């Protein structure tokens, strides 16, 4: 299976962590998969996990896996909610997907404390602000 993954850069795809616009307290955030490309992605597998130090002790979240059959061009998909309590640890998202018959992969790593309101930027496809890496 690993031999089927094409060794070329994955472009136009990103994971965005964005606050919910209706939440005035800033406690509710979501993880989005965004396809900026002019073509759809298929058979998308997303794996998420968090790890790092909390109060001087090594902690790790459960690994979550999600499958998305197809993501249209210039669109987004809500992956999962994320708790602000884990913004202080590393949050990692690994995805593999198909473009036509090619399989590609990409890893997105949000380092501790990089998910913050001060790091928000406009994400056109989402029509809202979010944090990217």
Q: Give the per-residue pLDDT at 55.
A: 87
Confidence band for 27, pLDDT divided at 50, 70 and 90: confident
pLDDT tens digits along 79-109: 999 999 999 999 999 999 999 999 999 999 9
**How far apart, in whole angstroms, are the C-alpha atoms of residue 8 and residue 99?**
12
> Within 10 Å of residue 132's Cβ, how many Cβ atoms?
17
Q: Are 49 and 63 in contact (CB under 8 A)?
A: yes
Spell out the residues 6+ positions from residue 115 whose beta carbon is closer than 8 angstroms to its own: 17, 29, 82, 87, 91, 131
Confidence band for 21, pLDDT divided at 50, 70 and 90: confident
Q: Give the per-residue pLDDT at 6.
A: 55
State if pTM tops 0.95: no
Q: Does domain 2-126 have CATH number 2.60.40?
A: yes
Q: Give the per-residue pLDDT at 10.
A: 86
pLDDT value at 52 more than 60: yes
Average pLDDT of the chain, as a whole number: 93
Half-sphere exposure of 82 (CA within 13 A, CB side): 31
pLDDT value at 110 more than 80: yes
pLDDT value at 29 more than 70: yes
Strand order in the sheet with 13-19: 13-19, 28-35, 75-83
Provide the residue ranges of all domains of the chain, joining segments of one domain with +.
2-126
Q: Give the per-residue pLDDT at 25.
A: 76
pLDDT tens digits along 63-75: 999 999 999 999 9
């Amino acid at each position: 299976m690993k031999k089927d993954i094409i060794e070329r850069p994955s472009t136009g795809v990103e994971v965005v962590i964005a606050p919910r616009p209706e939440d005035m307290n800033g406690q509710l955030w979501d993880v989005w998969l965004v396809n900026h490309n002019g073509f759809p992605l298929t058979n998308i597998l997303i794996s998420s996990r968090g790890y790092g130090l909390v109060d001087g002790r090594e902690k790790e979240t459960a690994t979550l896996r999600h499958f998305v059959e197809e993501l249209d061009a210039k669109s987004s998909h809500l992956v999962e909610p994320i708790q602000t309590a884990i913004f202080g640890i590393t949050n990692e998202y690994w995805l593999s997907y198909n473009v036509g018959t090619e399989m590609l992969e990409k890893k997105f790593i949000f380092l501790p404390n990089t998910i913050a309101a001060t790091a928000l930027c406009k994400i056109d496809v989402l029509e809202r602000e979010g944090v990217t890496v």
